[in-house]
Amino acid sequence: MDSHKLIPIAKIIKKHTFKENKWKAVSLSGLASIWFENLSAIYLSDGNKDAPVKVPVKIEVPLSHSEEFFLLFEGTYAPPEKAEILVPRSEFPPLPESEFYLCDVIGTIASSKLGDFKVISYFENADPKSGLSALSLLIESVSPIAGKALKLEVPASILKRKDNSWSFEDIELWTG
């Protein structure tokens, strides 16, 4: 993956105070303290075709273990409503060796007992009854399995990395 590629990792929710130019935001990538304490600028996108805009900002992360945080913009700058906050991939915090960022696995090939699968995309599945959500991967077989191409949605948790190779554990559960 291009280390300068901008990846959406948070979203602005609403203006927090009118005295200051302070906006409330929520992380789409886990605890805000991990992601935002060391950033001095972010990129904002309103979802239109306009290129994301780099904006200097002061970030306040509450002491609680939360996904919410605050952005203080200089002067009268007002971000687009519901703007996505993007960060270059090169500024992501390092992870332990066995962990990975989902944006890094798109296009990779992972082996399994059934054959090799290519990761196409990832998305969040929400259970409307419980309110819980889980990350899923959309994968497709690299070569036909039992005479046909397979395209599956599987939990992201079954993708494993060891050294520089990828594999799917328990993929048989998701094909039957």
Report the DSSP beta bridge partners of residue 10.
27, 85
* Residue 27: band (very low, low, confident or very high) from pLDDT cuts 50, 70, 90: confident
Higher pLDDT, 173 or 139: 139
pLDDT at 78 over 80: yes
| Ordered domains of the chain (ranges, CATH) | 6-91 (2.40.30.60), 102-174 (2.30.30)
In whole angstroms, give the CA distance from residue 110 to residue 118.
6
CB distance 107 to 116 below 8 Å:
no
CB distance 21 to 78 below 8 Å:
yes
The whole-chain average pLDDT of the chain stands at: 79
pLDDT at 36 over 70: yes
- Contacts of 31-40 with CB under 8 Å at 24 or more apart are 31/65, 31/66, 31/67, 32/61, 32/62, 32/66, 32/67, 32/68, 32/69, 33/61, 33/65, 34/93, 35/9, 35/10, 35/87, 35/93, 36/10, 36/61, 36/69, 37/61, 39/87, 39/91
Tell me the pLDDT tens digit for each residue of 139-150: 888 887 777 788
Helix (H) or strand (E) holding 162: strand 159-162
pLDDT at residue 150, as a whole number: 80
Q: 117: number of CA atoms within 13 Å, CB side? A: 28
Residue 33 three-state SS? helix
* Residue 49: band (very low, low, confident or very high) from pLDDT cuts 50, 70, 90: low
Tell me the pLDDT tens digit for each residue of 94-123: 877 777 777 888 888 988 888 888 988 887
pLDDT at residue 167, as a whole number: 82
* Residues 103/8/90/40 CA torsion (nearest 10 deg): -160
Higher pLDDT, 140 or 47: 140
pLDDT at residue 172, as a whole number: 61
Which pTM was predicted?
0.67
CB distance 141 to 153 below 8 Å:
no
Contacts of 132 (CB under 8 A, 6+ apart): 126
pLDDT at residue 128, as a whole number: 67
In whole angstroms, give the CA distance from residue 8 to residue 34.
15
pLDDT at residue 1, as a whole number: 53
The tokens for 34 are 């991990």
